[in-house]
Structure 1
Amino acid sequence: MGLRVTLVAAARSSSLLAERFDDDRPLDEAGWYEVRLAAHTLVPLGAAELRYCSPTPRSRATGTALGYAPLAQPALRDCDMGRWRGLTLAEVAAHEPAAVDAWLADPRTAPHGGESLLAFISRVGGWLDTRPADDGAIVAVAEPAVVRAALVYALKAPPATFWNVDVRPLSTVTLTGRPGLWHLHLQAAVAQ
């Protein structure tokens, strides 16, 4: 069977337009409401042998609200955005348009002084590849960007693919396999 890693995107802490780089805000009212609505689907994932979360307040709160009692993993933190931390993309683009263009075009650059996209994807992939190779189940609640990075890494996709993956709050994705050999597992709508 192999290892089964289910990633759960943390509930939101702000509207999409108000999202800030490296945002440490807790869940907002809409986020709590969404957790309550999705709980019937997500709570059973807590039966996994290992339960983790990103160290951010919203990831910890999401995991706790779902009954996972997750262990915070520093490797699952969001991308280090350096001096752009706490700003929106629109704010940064207004002041540093060339830097934003470079950051979006080249996954090796980090004009903000933080972590490059390539380094971020590698860090998250390193976390995946250091999970136990035994059969079993893991659930991890993380920022949507972390889920995107894990998918790009697991599928060995080009880093620019990161920008084409949409991860909505409380969505899930499951990777199966073992360190170094991951497969995307899509759940069937009906039992077969």
Structure 2
Amino acid sequence: MSTQAKEPKPAAGRATRLTILCRGATAANQQTRFSSDVPLLPKERVRLRERARGLGRFDLVLHAPERSAAETAAAFAPDAASCPALRDADYGRWNGRTIADVAEQSPEDLQRWMSDPSCAPHGGETFEAVQARAAAWLEQRHAKGGHTLAVTHAIVLKLLFLHVVGAPLSSLWRIDVEPLAMLSLTSDGRRWALRSFGAGLPGGATETG
């Protein structure tokens, strides 16, 4: 069972590396549904074991509070810690609904949501708000040292990528992120640099949000 994050003290003189991993695929991915607090698909555990073998060991493993993120992180560390800042976007009253359903019932709201990152017609979080809280967490990690794995959701990973490279939020829909895709960063103590931004393993389903 995961716990709330209790991190070691910063290690002076050690380089800081951060690997941000999109959690594995769920039924909500297949259904293009606004929902993240569901378990991984059974077949995803095979791909996850392969990913864990390829990435090796980490000094610290963190994960978003949702079940799929916790199950993904457990493949790397049984004592992985829950980190609220990595939680999925709050989709308000759209949570649990499919994109097709929202498009049919509220097409204008869906269009506004996709074109304006400061808009939240569903009553939940704006993309601006999600990026702000995730970026605040990221900027506090410069001096942590060691290599940390952080398991989160596609939308959070994309927003952190835009933050690091200084791209506008309007670029959000130009990025596709598959389950188990990774964003690899390093810090010199002052700024984050992009090492790699890659796809997941073969057979993944592209995330819609």
Fold in common (TM above 0.5): yes
Structure 1 residues 179 and 20: CA distance shift in structure 2, 3 A: farther
Counterparts in 2 of 1:159 and 1:53: CA distance versus 1, 3 Å: same
Alignment map for 1:92-171 (pairs within 5 Å):
92-171=102-181
Which residue is 2:194 aligned to? 184
Work out whether 1:47 is the aligned partner of 2:72. no
The alpha carbon displacement at 1:131 in A equals: 1.7
Q: Percent of aligned positions with the same letter in both sequences?
A: 32
1:80 to 90, 93, 100: 90
Unmatched runs of 5 consecutive residues or more in structure 2: 1-13, 198-209
Which structure has greater helix proportion?
A: 1
Please say which of residues 97-106 and 1-10 is displaced more in the overlay. 1-10
Runs of 4+ in structure 1 deviating by more than 6 angstroms, as ranges, are none
Count of residues in Structure 1 that have an aligned counterpart in Structure 2: 184
Could you report, residue by residue, the CA deviation over 1:7-52 in whole angstroms, capped at 9, with x for unpaired residues? 111111126341321321111112222213323213x1x322x221
* 1:52–1:71 Cα contact (<8 Å) kept: yes
Report if the CA contact (8 A) 1:22-1:78 is conserved: no
Computed over aligned residues only, the root mean square deviation of the Cα atoms, in angstroms, reads: 1.9
Match of 2:26 in 1: 13
The answer (yes or no) to whether the contact 2:19–2:185 under 8 Å persists in 1 is yes
After the TM superposition, which residues 19-58 of structure 1 pair with which residues of structure 2 at under 5 Å, given as runs?
A: 19-42=32-55, 44=56, 46-48=57-59, 50-58=60-68
Give 1:76 shift: 0.4
Query: How far apart in 2 are the matches of 1:155 and 1:23?
Result: 26
Paired amino acid for 2:58: A
Partner of 2:6: none
> CA-to-partner distance for each residue in 1:126-176, whole Å, 9 max, x for gaps?
110122524322110111111111111111210112211211111212111
Distance 1:47 1:174 in 2: 13
Maintained 8 Å contact 2:61/2:77? no
Shift in alpha-carbon separation, 1:179–1:118, aligned structure 2, 3 A: farther
Q: Which moved more, 1:104-113 or 1:29-38?
A: 29-38
Give the TM-score taking structure 2 as reference length. Answer: 0.81
Give unpaired runs (5+ residues) of structure 1.
188-192
